[in-house]
Amino acid sequence: MEPRISIVTLGTADLGAACTFWEAMGLERKAKSTPSMAFFQLNGLVLGLYPFDKLAKDCHLPGGQPAGATTIAYNARSEADADAILAQAVAAGATLHVPAHKAFWGGYSGYFLDPDGHPWEVAYNPFFPLNDDGTVTLPD
């Protein structure tokens, strides 16, 4: 297996509302989207949105909302950038879950919950510097 993740798909209760949220966050829905699934291009990764019930059926999981302890992280370029991204998410309809603060691990971090309750960490991590294109390359 090659070391990569290609697509992260999030379950959603309301595909239209989820698309509106991510578009307000600056993402563009791509043409390969369908009426029941949306795709957004990120740096080298695709974010997919799919209704909870269809995702559960596809994964052969019981219930309408797959359970799991997953956090998705967005690395910011600075503490001020992290604050701005959290504010943008709240303005777009997210819930501020944990205000940004100095984190125990030496960075700066906060969380928002997207409209479907997925936790997103927004962090400035001085130990994982961002490349010019926004990607992260872990130091040796």
pLDDT tens per residue, range 75-102:
999 999 999 999 999 999 999 999 999 9
Per-residue pLDDT, 101: 96
**Helix (H) or strand (E) run with residue 75 in it:** strand 72-75
CATH of 1-58, one of 3.40.50.40, 3.10.180.10, 3.40.50.10800, 3.40.50.300: 3.10.180.10
pLDDT at 112 over 90: yes
pLDDT at 33 over 80: no
Please report, for residues 12, 26, 117, the alpha-carbon distance to residue 48 in angstroms, rounded to integers and kept in the order given.
Answer: 10, 15, 15
| Average pLDDT of the chain to the nearest whole number | 87
Please identify, in words, the CATH class of the domain defined by 71-140: alpha beta
Per-residue pLDDT, 2: 66
Same fold, 1-58 and 71-140: yes
Rounded distance between C-alpha atoms, residue 129 and residue 116, angstroms: 30
The residue type at 36: S
- State mean pLDDT over 19-39: 90
- State mean pLDDT over 34-39: 88
Rounded distance between C-alpha atoms, residue 60 and residue 53, angstroms: 10
pLDDT at 9 over 60: yes
Per-residue pLDDT, 56: 78
Please report, for residues 57, 67, 88, the alpha-carbon distance to residue 52 in angstroms, rounded to integers and kept in the order given.
Answer: 9, 10, 25
Name which residue leads in pLDDT, 85 or 59.
85
Per-residue pLDDT, 71: 77
Extents of the domains making up the chain: 1-58, 71-140
Task: Kindly indicate the confidence band of residue 63, based on its pLDDT and cuts at 50, 70 and 90.
Answer: low
